[in-house]
């Protein structure tokens, strides 16, 4: 995967759509970038939380 810092608006829209976010065409590249960063971190946190929960269930 390319470096998100080098993406254009099209790439941000495509990646946002992959995580279930349909971004309006009116959003600027800066807004798309911020939205992507916020939600990719949130999804990463959710993945880590699920891993921790599963690990604790095995104890």
* Domain ranges across the chain: 27-59
CA dihedral over 27, 32, 33, 38, signed as positive or negative: positive
**Two tokens, residue 21:** 């976010």
Which pLDDT band, with edges at 50, 70 and 90, does 28 fall under?
very high
Tell if the pTM clears 0.85, that is, is over it: no
> CA-based Rg of the chain, rounded to a whole angstrom?
15
Q: Which two tokens stand for residue 6?
A: 């080098």
pLDDT above 80 (res 36): yes
Share of the chain above pLDDT 70, in %: 68
Query: How long a stretch of residues is the chain?
Result: 59
Each residue's pLDDT tens digit, 6-26: 999 999 999 999 999 999 999
In 3D space, the residue among 32, 57, 56, 44 whose CA is nearest the CA of residue 15 turns out to be 32
């Amino acid at each position: 995967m390319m470096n998100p810092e080098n993406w254009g608006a099209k790439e941000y829209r495509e990646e946002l759509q992959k995580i279930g976010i349909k971004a309006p065409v009116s959003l600027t590249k800066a807004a798309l970038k911020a939205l992507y960063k916020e939600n990719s971190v949130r999804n990463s946190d959710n993945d880590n939380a699920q891993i921790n929960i599963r690990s604790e269930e095995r104890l």
